[in-house]
Structure 1
Amino acid sequence: MTWTVDKQIALTATQAVEAIQSGQLKAAEYAATLLARAQALANLNALTVLDVEGALAAARRIDALGASERARLPLAGLPIVVKDNINTRGLQTSAATPALEGFMPARHAPSVQRLVDAGAILLGKANMHELAFGITSTNLSPAAGPVRNPYDCERIPGGSSGGTAAAIAARIAPAGLGTDTGGSTRIPAALCG
């Protein structure tokens, strides 16, 4: 099968993992496609950090595994984004506020570690309402800026997990990890599909 860009970005998370585990699609090719899409859609301001080198290196490691090794990883090669208030080793976790700019956690949050251990590939950190203190993702912090709805850039994506929802809806990543204390994932799911 020829994997055009359109076919790759249309993949669901389960379809992507199935294609990578079966060897039909290379994880590095898929990650490169999504990283390029993230760069092309930078105007959405969905991400605070894009880890091009780290994501491609992780994808190449998945591709280097044998079929039986990939089969033991339930998320082998699945690119994800993680909300910027969840710790990620080696990537800034700023909670989209200038007060935490430059904070580099020494280890992944347990939820992120479990995803990585299962073969997921971290593309980057998703923008959010500053300190998750709001439901619009209209971040006025110069460190992050407002997240835009991928269907209408004049509208909000909603929630404090708006960057995660915008990245998934815009097909920058097939899956992501957010947090929800007051509608932070439910509101963007409703506004971004």
Structure 2
Amino acid sequence: MTWTVDEQLALTATEAVAAIQSGRIKAADYMATLLARAAALSSLNALTTLDLDGALAAAQRIDALPPEAKARLPLAGLPIVVKDNINTAGLQTSAGTPALEGFVPQTNAPSVQRLLDAGAIVLGKANMHELAFGITSTNFATHAGPVRNPYDPTLIPGGSSGGTAAAIAARIAPAGLG
């Protein structure tokens, strides 16, 4: 089956994993669609970091697994976004503040590691309210800028995890940590 972009973007997290595990969709194709969506909607400021190469390589590794190995991964190929105050090895974790800009942790937070061990793939880091001290995700402290509501960019998504919420609502990723 050939999936249209609209069909791919409409997949829920559960549907995406089932399609990847069954071989009805390639994880790399799905990831490429979501990465393109993220780039096209960059004006939402939902993400602080997009891991183009790493996410595609991880998706290709999932595609290379035999079906029985994919079946043992409950989140096989699931693209996720991770709030920028949760450590991700090899990706900047700034917590939305200039004081941590350039900080790249060597290890993953336990929550991220458990998701990766289950087959999830970090697509990117989600914008947030600086140091999570606020409820708007209006962040002027970093290059990312304030998070925009994907349904009305003149509004805010709210919460300190607004980037995660906006990325999921805009169908940049089907799931995330906030």
Q: Normalized against structure 1, the TM-score is what?
A: 0.91
Alignment-mate amino acid for residue 36 of structure 1:
A
Partners of 2:2 and 2:119 in 1: how far apart? Answer: 24
Deviation at 1:140, TM superposition (A): 1.3
Q: Which runs of 5+ in 1 are unaligned?
A: 179-193
Give deviations 1:46-70, integer Å, cap 9, x for gaps: 0000000000000000000000000
User: How far apart are residue 2 of structure 1 and its match?
Assistant: 1.6
Distance across 1 between alignment mates of 2:138 and 2:42 = 16
Q: What's the counterpart of residue 157 of structure 1?
A: 157
Aligned residue runs from structure 1 range 138-177, under 5 A: 138-177=138-177
Percent sequence identity over aligned pairs? 80
Contact kept in structure 2, 1:135 and 1:158, CA below 8 Å: yes
SS at match of 2:114: helix
Q: Within 5 Å, give how 1:41-190 maps onto structure 2.
A: 41-178=41-178
Contact 1:28 1:56 (8 Å CA) reproduced: yes
After TM superposition, give the deviation of residue 10 of structure 1 in Å. Answer: 0.1
4+ residue runs of structure 1 moved beyond 6 angstroms?
none
Q: Deviations over 1:159-178 (max 9, x none)?
A: 00000000000000000001
Q: Secondary structure at the match of 1:81?
A: strand
* Equivalent AA in structure 2 for residue 138 of structure 1: T
List per-residue Cα deviations over 1:83-108 (Å, max 9, x = no partner). Answer: 00000000000001100000000100
Shift of 1:142: 3.2
Output the CA distance in 1 between the equivalents of 2:165 and 2:15: 19
Tell me how many residue pairs correspond in the alignment. 178
Q: TM (normalized to structure 2)? A: 0.99
Please provide the CA RMSD for this pair.
Answer: 0.5
Q: Which runs of 5+ in 2 are unaligned?
A: none
